Amino acid sequence: MRVSPWRWLILAMVVVLVAAGCADDGGDLLTLPSSETTTSAVAATTAAVDPPTSTTTQPVTTTQPPTVTSTTTQPPSTTSTTTQPPSTAPTTTSGAFSYTGRGTFPDVLGGPLDAHGSGCVPGPGALPDGIWFGFPEAWTTSSINFDLACFYTGDAATAQATARGEESPPSNDYIITNDNTTLRVVPVAVGAIGHRLSGSIETYPVPVGEFIADPGAFQDCPQFCLMWLVVNAGEVTEIVSQFVP
């Protein structure tokens, strides 16, 4: 059945009137709180139930002890330097032959009737290594012009005196012979020493330069003195003055 539009309009008005009458009678209508009110209420309830937790974060500070560097200082090195006084009297020589400590003249190095030292027949040419007796005709600190001779004592001196028709045994128990006047130029080693005669028959060592300047008592050198040459490696390493009565 078809309803007239007017009837719908009348029905709507009736509904409005009924609603207005209910409002006048003090009826309660459900009013939804606004979102702000609801939020405040919820916040209040939450605050009452769960009080805010106050968290205080204490800063944690860890202090490391200062680094201590241990330094050990070594004491300065002390070098002890001992200054030796300059030596003006050398007492040692190098080489196979040496006069040092032999006394008034060197030993006989050859046969039983030989001359003292290395003898007196070395042959021609340069003077070989050994201990040789003779006369310096000239000398410097670098070379000596040497006339080789022979120095005999004891039985050897007696035998030489007898062979020459001289007094036998010889007076003072020694004899010097010089049958060959050949001069040999003998180089002097650097650092050579001289054994200078003192006021007696004893000698004492000095540098070769001092010795040549003054061979000591009882000597008139170079031409009129007696001496021993100690030769090593072809050079004079020692010069020794020889005393005779």
Q: Does residue 106 sit within a domain?
A: no
The predicted pLDDT at position 193 comes to 94
Asked if 115 contacts 159 with a C-beta cutoff of 8 angstroms, the reply is no
Domain that holds residue 164: 130-241
Q: Note whether residue 82 is domain-resident.
A: no
Distance between CA atoms of residues 8 and 213, nearest Å: 171
Strand blocks (E) in 112-234: 130-139, 143-148, 150-153, 174-177, 183-197, 203-207, 227-232
Mean pLDDT, the chain, integer: 72
Residue 181 is predicted with a pLDDT of 81
Q: What's the pTM value of the predicted model, to 2 decimals?
A: 0.61
Residue 13 lies in a domain: no
| 196 inside domain | yes
100: in domain: no
Res. 204: pLDDT tops 70 = yes
Half-sphere exposure of residue 158: CA atoms within 13 angstroms, side-chain side:
4
Q: Identify residue 34 by its one-letter amino acid code.
A: S
Q: Tell me, yes or no, whether 219 lies in a domain.
A: yes
Max mean pLDDT range (15-29, 69-83, 94-108, 117-131): 117-131
CA distance 24 to 21: 5
Which amino acid is present at 18?
A: V
Look at residue 19 and tell me if it is in a domain. no
Q: How many structural domains are present in the chain? A: 1
pLDDT classification of 190: cutoffs 50, 70, 90 = very high
Are the beta carbons of 212 and 138 closer than 8 angstroms? no
Confidence tier at 8 by pLDDT (50, 70, 90): low
Residue pair 144/236 in contact (Cβ under 8 Å)? The answer is yes
Over the stretch 105-139, which tens digit does the pLDDT of each residue have? 888 998 889 999 999 888 778 899 999 999 999 99
SS3 state at 127: coil
